[in-house]
């Protein structure tokens, strides 16, 4: 299918104004297809002109434009020509559409727990034409009136409040003007929990097999929802404009959530079946608040073209963390951002695919998606924090209010947003925007100390811009020193030159640990001194400031990926500090990183068993001392379950014997244990099937696939590869779980034959897998055989001209990760 170009979108928006959509969906035609009858009313600025509308149908039954029939055969590559338009036009298309199984368009999934089917719409980025005929670009917004026919036992939820007009028939209230990619319909035998707040009807919905956890978690989700509404109403000065507010937790969702106005769709893994750590609850709360902030920034005001999509996400990323800290119990949300979101963004910044936050003109819709990553979210949010430091919070919020008011129900651009902030603050933002938004890369920040007799005699903060992306970025940040848990000094400064003298550190005690950007206020690569790194195994756990500890861990991760910090150094710090960590986000994120990246990627396979046992000892030590049922206890148990070589312990836990408190009936925890056993070759396919039968749910089936793929024998690998890369009707989630398990092996020899096959078989999947879903498969299935031979094959593949944009972008990033591992091993050798 052709991708809409920016030039085409501009031309069409000058010609066409959409007045309304009336969409009739018939979801009662079986498991493969659905009916779609859509009427679009629109005007044409130049009567007699030609245009086109977007349509991706399985079968077209009729097309009527202004009373005359058009030939369905004229549809070409998803475009229906519209010849000889009048000033006022009415187009009706009656078509049969296909359900998807890759998370795009109208996705249909079956829950193995009870055999029931569930449908949800995810129309981002260009999937709307696979559901109804439309002018599919973000600046052609219009109201929608939707009716749905569905099996009688189903419930229907959508952007407008739903009314059941007859058995199996539903009408959704006409919406405010929406961009096409925000339209959604969710239908199936969903169970619901309802509430109301400030005159806004609230709903939570999930699969029937998740009824118990949905009801168990509903009060907490509603609380965050209500707190976020109150906060954003007060902050923006504009009431929520889209009627009801439903949150639908759906199966097999590609992203974390989607901000459809009035009907937010979220991945149903957020309805935790078993025990959940505090940081998992924080992540869910952050997602709830993030999507709600989009109701104003993204939904009420939508970007004019996809190259400004970053602003929607950066704004929501910033606002959700701000809201959690100011209005909810999750006051350490910025710590979670430091250890998870910014680490993700820094990884994107290190890759050859790095790009500016803004200003990268997307020549077509698909290319815009390739720059939709951790830079769009985490770096953009950090840039907004620096903008606030630059202009002042009151002025920033005044500018946001003006922007939202002026552009309500319409579209805006980066220039419009900056103009509003500039008018409210009186500040010239041209230089700031050029440095922070329009230039790729991040500065490196470090501090050099001179000392004498245990006192600091001079301190210099150095700011170094990347040579290939020079910029003059001002940074508002702080520097803090700590010794044995006591803060020796903290200096706030604005860095606007390559070097800045930190007079506030002079004549203070020389700290054991010195941390630039200690409060993590800016976006930069923080380099710690060798002295600080050497002290961390004993000193880090004593630092009482969780934000600073998160910055330290982020710096160590950066150093690992840039071959400046050895994997064993991270393990030394982990062993010294982890069992005494108090912050849930740091505790769980660093454990996962140590297990799956430091040991699972950077260490050669022959060194992993001993390193895993080292991690298991840490887990057992914390498990012995943690309060039963606490986040610390759960994090420790998960680490032991994933790393221990004690098969007697693992088999006992897998069968429910001797489990830590709170995990007695936790199916998700059991699968961590089962995967460890499967990876070790301690389980057969029949053993895994028995565990699946005891957890006969969607998640249980997915975990069973991952465990079967992880088994260390040639037959298991051959089966998994065929299931992953063949046309077997596997869903997006099934492919992901097969890929996650596949490269587990005791040696490279078992999986090395699949390295060459990856570079042929996976790109070919673009013939039947959507770009959004395939991009994840490319990343997850990338060969975990870290050799020069793999690097050569990867480089050769990137020279091919037939890769789709999503495959190429994901392959570039995966190739960069491979070269980081090779550089680390070259720097630190086999003793790493």
The pLDDT of residue 361 is above 90: no
Q: pTM to 2 decimals? A: 0.96
- The mean pLDDT value for 451-475 works out to 95
CB contact at 8 A, 682 and 748: no
The pLDDT of residue 303 is 94
Of the candidates 334, 332, 311, 321, the one whose C-alpha atom is nearest the C-alpha of residue 287 is 321
Percent of the chain with pLDDT over 70: 100
DSSP-assigned beta bridge partners for residue 475: 495
pLDDT for res 831: 44
- Residues with active-site annotation: 291
pLDDT of residue 456: 96
Res 678: pLDDT: 98
Taken as a whole, the chain contains a residue count of: 832
Half-sphere exposure of 362 (CA within 13 A, CB side): 24
**What average pLDDT score do residues 763-774 get?**
92
Whole-number Å distance between alpha carbons of 775 and 742: 17
- For residue 517, CA distances in Å to 179, 430, 499, 521, 523 come to 40, 25, 15, 6, 9
| Mean pLDDT of all residues in 369-384 | 88
Model confidence over 33-81: pLDDT tens digits? 999 999 999 999 999 999 999 999 999 999 999 999 999 999 999 999 9
Output helix, strand, coil percentages for the chain, rounded to the nearest 5.
Answer: 50, 20, 30
Cα–Cα distance between 121 and 130 in angstroms, integer?
10
Per-residue pLDDT reduced to its tens digit, 74-115: 999 999 999 999 999 999 999 999 999 999 999 999 999 999
User: Which pLDDT value is given to residue 832?
Assistant: 40
pLDDT for 829: 81
Q: Is 283:150 a contact under the CB 8 Å cutoff?
A: no
The pLDDT of residue 669 is 97
Residue 199 neighbours by CB distance under 10 Å: 7
pLDDT at 782 over 90: yes
Please, which pLDDT band fits residue 289 given cuts at 50, 70 and 90? very high
| Mean of per-residue pLDDT scores for the chain | 96
pLDDT (mean) for 525-544: 98
- Residue 806 confidence class, pLDDT cut points 50, 70, 90: confident
Kind plus residue range of the DSSP H or E element containing 259: none
Of 796, 789, 793, 721, the residue nearest 751 (C-alpha): 721
* Partners of 478 in the β-ladder: 492
CB 739, CB 724: distance < 8 Å: yes
Bridge partners, 60 (sequence order): 95
Strand pairing category for 185-188 and 155-158: antiparallel
State residue 1's pLDDT score: 66
Of the pLDDT bands very low, low, confident and very high (cuts 50, 70, 90), residue 830 is low
pLDDT at 742: 98
pLDDT band at 359 (very low <50, low <70, confident <90, very high): confident
From CA 463, how far away is CA 470, in angstroms rounded?
12
504 phi/psi in degrees, rounded to 5: -70, -15
Integer Cα distance of 405 and 390 in angstroms: 23
């Amino acid at each position: 299918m052709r991708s809409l170009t920016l030039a085409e979108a501009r031309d069409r928006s000058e010609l066409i104004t959409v007045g309304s959509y009336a969409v009739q969906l018939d979801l009662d035609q079986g498991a493969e297809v659905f009916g779609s009858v859509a009427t679009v009313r629109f005007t044409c600025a130049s009567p007699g002109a030609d245009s086109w509308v977007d349509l991706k149908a399985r079968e077209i039954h009729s097309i009527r434009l202004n009373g005359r029939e058009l030939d369905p055969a004229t549809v070409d590559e998803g475009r229906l020509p519209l010849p000889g338009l009048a000033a006022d036009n009415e187009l009706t298309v009656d078509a049969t559409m296909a359900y998807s199984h890759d998370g795009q368009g109208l996705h249909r999934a079956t829950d193995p727990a009870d055999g029931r089917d569930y449908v949800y719409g995810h129309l981002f980025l260009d999937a709307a034409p696979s559901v109804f005929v439309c002018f599919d670009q973000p600046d052609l917004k219009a109201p929608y009136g939707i009716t749905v026919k569905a099996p009688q036992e189903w419930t229907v939820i959508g952007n407008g409040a739903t009314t059941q007009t007859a058995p199996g028939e539903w009408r959704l209230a006409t919406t405010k003007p929406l961009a096409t990619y925000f339209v959604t319909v969710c239908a199936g035998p969903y169970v619901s929990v309802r509430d109301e707040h400030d005159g806004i009807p609230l709903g939570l919905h999930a699969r029937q097999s998740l009824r118990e956890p949905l009801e168990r978690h509903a009060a907490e989700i509603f609380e965050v929802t209500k707190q976020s509404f109150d906060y954003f109403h007060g902050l923006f000065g504009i009431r929520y404009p889209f009627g009801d507010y439903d949150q639908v937790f759906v199966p097999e969702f590609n992203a974390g959530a989607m901000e459809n106005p009035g009907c937010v769709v979220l991945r149903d893994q957020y309805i935790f079946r078993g025990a959940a750590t505090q940081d998992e609850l924080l992540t869910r709360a952050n997602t709830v608040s993030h999507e709600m902030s989009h109701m104003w920034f993204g939904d009420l005001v939508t970007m004019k073209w996809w190259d400004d999509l970053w602003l929607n996400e950066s704004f929501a990323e910033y606002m959700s963390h701000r809201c959690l800290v100011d209005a909810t119990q999750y006051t350490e949300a910025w710590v979670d951002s430091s250890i998870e979101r910014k680490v993700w963004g820094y990884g994107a910044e290190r890759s050859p695919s790095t790009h500016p936050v803004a200003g990268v003109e997307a020549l077509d819709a698909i290319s815009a998606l390739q720059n939709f990553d951790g830079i769009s979210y985490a770096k953009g949010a950090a840039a907004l924090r620096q903008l606030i430091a630059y202009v002042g919070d009151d002025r920033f919020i005044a500018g946001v209010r003006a922007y939202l008011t002026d552009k309500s129900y319409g579209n805006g651009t980066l220039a419009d947003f900056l103009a509003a902030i500039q008018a409210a603050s009186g500040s010239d933002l041209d230089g700031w925007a050029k440095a922070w938004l329009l230039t790729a890369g991040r500065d490196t920040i470090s501090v050099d100390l001179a000392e004498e007799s245990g006192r600091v005699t001079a301190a210099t903060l150095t700011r170094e811009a990347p040579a290939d992306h020079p910029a003059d970025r001002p940074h508002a940040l702080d520097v803090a020193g700590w010794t044995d848990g006591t803060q020796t000094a903290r200096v706030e400064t604005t860095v606007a030159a390559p070097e800045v003298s930190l007079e506030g550190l002079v004549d203070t005690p020389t700290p054991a640990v010195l941390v630039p950007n200690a409060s993590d206020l800016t976006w930069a690569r923080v380099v710690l001194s060798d002295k600080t790194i050497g002290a961390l195994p004993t000193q880090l756990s004593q630092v009482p400031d969780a934000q600073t500890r998160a910055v330290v861990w982020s710096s160590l991760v950066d150093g690992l990926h840039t071959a400046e910090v050895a994997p064993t150094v991270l393990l030394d710090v982990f062993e010294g500090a982890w069992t005494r960590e108090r912050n849930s986000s740091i505790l769980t994120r660093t454990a996962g990183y140590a297990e799956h990246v430091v040991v699972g990627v950077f260490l050669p396979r022959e060194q992993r068993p001993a390193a895993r046992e080292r991690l298991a000892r840490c887990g057992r030590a914390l498990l012995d001392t943690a309060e039963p049922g606490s986040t610390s206890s759960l994090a420790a148990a998960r680490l032991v379950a994933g790393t221990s070589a004690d098969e007697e312990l693992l088999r006992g836990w897998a069968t429910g014997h001797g489990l830590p408190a709170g995990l007695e009936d936790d199916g998700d925890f059991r699968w961590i244990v089962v995967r460890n056993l499967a990876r070790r070759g301690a389980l057969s396919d029949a053993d895994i099937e028995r565990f699946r039968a005891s957890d006969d749910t969607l998640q249980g089936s997915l975990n069973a696939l991952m465990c079967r793929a992880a088994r260390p024998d040639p037959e298991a690998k051959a089966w998994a590869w065929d299931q992953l890369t063949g046309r077997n009707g596997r869903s997006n989630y099934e492919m992901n779980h097969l890929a996650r398990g596949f490269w587990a092996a005791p040696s490279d020899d078992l999986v090395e034959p699949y390295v060459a096959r990856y570079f042929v078989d996976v790109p070919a999947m673009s013939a039947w897998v959507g770009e959004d879903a395939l991009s994840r498969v490319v990343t997850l299935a990338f060969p975990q055989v870290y050799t020069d031979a793999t690097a050569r094959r990867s480089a050769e593949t990137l020279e091919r001209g037939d890769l789709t944009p999503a495959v190429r972008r994901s392959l570039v990033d995966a190739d960069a990760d491979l070269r980081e591992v090779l550089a680390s091993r070259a720097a630190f050798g086999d003793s790493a």
